[in-house]
Chain A
Amino acid sequence: MPVLWLILIVLALAVAGFIAGRARAISGAGDDRRALHSLPNYYGWNVAMKAMVPAFLALVIWLIAQPFIVNTKATSLLPETAIPEGSTLGLVMSDVRRVADGLDLAVEQGLLGASEAADLTVTGSDIRATLGSAGVAVGSEISPEILAAAQSYRSSNATGNLLRSLVVIGLALVGGALALAQTKPDFRARNAVERGIRAILVGAASLAILTTIGIVLSLVFNTIEFFRIYPASEFFGSFTWSPSFGGGSQLGIWPLLWGTLYISLIALLVSVPIGLFAAVYLSEYAGPKFRSVAKPALELLAGIPTIVYGLFALLTVGPLLLSVFGRDGLGWMQAGTAVMTAGLVMGIMLIPFVSSLSDDIINAVPQSLRDGSYGLGATKSETIKQVILPAALPGIVGAILLAASRAIGETMIVVLGAGAAARLSLNPFDAMTTVTAKIVSQLTGDADFASPEALVAFALGMTLFVMTLGLNVFALYIVRKYREQYD
């Protein structure tokens, strides 16, 4: 039975359970809903929930587990000899799956009877031709072992699917029936539903956390793998970055880290003053009319995809800088792609971050502090400088740190604006590159995932992750400390 049908059946059972539970509760109370512990709908929800949730949970687990089990079973049927020279188990297994799927398709299209398909032998018929006419192309001639494995694959999948349907529908029925049996006027359905809702919320929260843990673990394992084939002392100690896929590459992180920090620094030098001043103007000076237009307009900057910023850097800012600082001007700049180009554009990108967060924080400073300062005869700018900004400072620092971690993680602007040369230089008009840009270049293309040149991407990613995580934790700590001040 297809999964969609299964879902629909369980949903239908839940709806039926809802109606039955509600009706049973009302009739149990003698048509007097005041005698019920909870509102009638809660009894309905209780039954629907208990029918639906275990069934769907079982379905999800089954969908994840079944392919594993079926694969293992089919693999165990394949002897060593079934794997030809120069091939791998994975390739043979994909053949097995193609044959199995092809047979299923052939049965569906009526090219083969169900029993005929189950009794196929390699010698008896031309399986390749049959599968070909069903629209499935199989590369090599099918060996008896592969056919046997495919047949096992088919049959265990079929049993699995049947069992799955039985278990899921069974769970829905049993759960619904148990809940229905619970449904008496004094049953605390409201509390039961409340617990269920809490469980759903907890599940959502833990899913997000588990995903993060999963991402971190995949980074960690690959990083460990990298350090096994490339010495960590070289990675953190070398000042040269010259990967060559032929081997003998030097993979020092410092040129990349320097590029990242240099570009981020320029970006922050651009975005922090402009963003902060914009926030002060918007929150303290601007009239409500101007504010209602200007604030969304500024936040629009945050909605521009970074690749568009990258194009802006490549096509507009780079040539502009080159015409001033390049060979025709001051002669400091060789090409349009440079730290300065990427830093300026990234700074523009970060302005709305800084201004929007700072604006919220400045607005959170209580009006009573402003009144107190004005009441002492302070001017607006004195009030802002000496009362509002000091009060908002921890929050503003938090905003700046969040912007910094955004700058460190930025990729597209760097790829298009800063060039690709990994070098240690102090000249902001030199082309440099960053950690993120190099991760992209190491993993795109036909990289062999076992080589240090590809695996280094994970070590770079891990370094970046630790840096931004540290910054974020620090920022959150500061923001939280600030919040306590007015409670």
Chain B
Amino acid sequence: MYDSPLRKTEVDTNESKISARDVQVYYGDTHAIKDVNVEILDKTVTAFIGPSGCGKSTFLRTLNRMNDTIDICRVEGLIELDGEDIYDKRVDPVQLRAKVGMVFQKPNPFPKSIYDNVAYGPKIHGLAKNKAELDEIVEKALRRGAIWDEVKDRLDAPGTGLSGGQQQRLCIARAVATEPEVLLMDEPCSALDPIATSQVEELIDELRANYSVVIVTHSMQQAARVSQKTAFFHLGNLVEYGDTSQIFTNPVDPRTESYITGRIG
């Protein structure tokens, strides 16, 4: 099943970063997520897999309250980040999103220069004391986004002028620059070609050293390659959650087996 195993290490921590208890999500009258319980570990890549419309992206967006921007969306249950309820009234969703960064399906660089794209988050959150420090943060983020060498000579060029793969890595660098604790990635490679995909996958594996990464993907190979933990969603239910190796070799639930062998989905 692992056609090119990227993983160097097994899960090396069992510290829970995010824990979800009995999470329900409704879009108006539609019950999109039903009774999801999951523990997302620190310094681990967790993959969400499942057929289209199974709720994996919706669940991902509840983890940094991106669903707040959708009027008809309602979340019930308990989601804790480091033991704190993120849906508590005292929690500022803006602060939360600074801690739980997000990379989207389609690369969405701002119509600004490459530098300003990356500097956007640090500027908003006041992470740099002066220009030199900001330069440093930007360079570090671009290096971690594995795009520094390609753009270091044209930091003033518009971010929208890069190729699709470069744009996505720029978006990852942009998310990394705000020093989040968790990085959510919603199908980050769906718009990329195989080469750019493998670059992003390598990047994800490197990011694991510092962050907890949650990735939604339609590619089971990708899930197998980059993740240590896998969650399988089906029709709004979390069907099975466990070590990636176990899910792909020895699934407990017959639905998981049907999906990963290609019989449903």
Contact = CB atoms under 8 A, between A and B. Distances in A.
B102 interface: yes
Given A287-B71, A382-B124, A374 B111 contact: no
B148 interface: no
A370 B104 CA distance: 11
Interface string B98-120: 11011110101111100000001
A377 B97 contact: yes
Contact of A371 (B108, B124, B174): B108
B97 A375 contact: yes
B121 interface: yes
A383 B27 CA distance: 25
B125 A377 contact: yes
B120 A373 contact: yes
A379 interface: yes
Contacts of B178: 376-377
A124 interface: no
| Interface range, B side | 20 to 34
Contacts of A288: 71
B215 to A, nearest CB: 15
Contacts of A386: 110, 120, 124
Interface string A292-307: 0000000000000000
Given A371-B66, A382-B124, A376 B108 contact: no
B187 to A, nearest CB: 13
Contact of B94 (A370, A379, A387, A390): A379
B65 to A, nearest CB: 9
Interface in A321-372: 366, 368-372
Q: Which of A370, A386, A485 has the most CB of B within 10 A?
A: A386
Contacts of B30: none
B66 A375 contact: yes
A13 interface: no
Nearest to A382: B124
A387 B121 CA distance: 12
Interface in A24-39: none
| Interface range, A side | 20 to 34
What's the dominant secondary structure at chain A's contact region?
helix
Contacts, number: 73
B110 to A, nearest CB: 5
Contacts of A387: 110, 120
Contacts of B97: 374-377
Q: Which of B64, B97, B174 has the most CB of A within 10 A?
A: B97
B4 to A, nearest CB: 29
B160 interface: yes
Contacts of A371: 66, 69, 102, 104, 108
Contact of B108 (A369, A379, A382, A390): A369
A391 B69 contact: no
A378 B111 contact: no
Nearest to A393: B111
A372 B159 CA distance: 13
Nearest to A372: B108
B171 interface: yes
Contact of B111 (A376, A379, A485): A485
Given A368-B108, A387-B110, A485-B111, A376 B71 contact: no
Interface in B173-202: 174-175, 178
Given A366-B108, A391-B111, A485-B111, A375 B102 contact: yes
Contacts of A377: 94-99, 101, 121, 124-125, 178
Given A371-B66, A373-B110, A485-B160, A378 B101 contact: no
A191 B101 CA distance: 57
Contacts of B98: 376-377
A368 B106 CA distance: 8
Contact of A376 (B69, B106, B175): B175
Given A370-B69, A386-B120, A375 B111 contact: no
B96 to A, nearest CB: 8
Contacts of B66: 371, 374-375
A371 B160 CA distance: 16
A375 B103 CA distance: 8
B106 to A, nearest CB: 6
B104 A372 contact: yes
A378 B102 contact: no
A484 to B, nearest CB: 10
B104 A376 contact: no
B102 to A, nearest CB: 4
B69 to A, nearest CB: 6
A376 B124 contact: yes
Given A368-B106, A390-B112, A485-B160, A375 B101 contact: yes
A120 to B, nearest CB: 82
Given A375-B175, A376-B124, A391 B110 contact: yes
Contacts of B101: 375-377
Interface string A91-119: 00000000000000000000000000000
Interface in A435-451: none
Nearest to B121: A376
A379 B97 CA distance: 10
Given A368-B106, A377-B178, A386-B110, 5 more contacts: A371-B108, A376-B174, A377-B96, A377-B125, A386-B120
Interface of A: 287-288, 366, 368-379, 382, 386-387, 390-391, 485
8 contacts: A372-B110, A373-B120, A375-B104, A376-B98, A377-B94, A377-B124, A378-B120, A390-B112
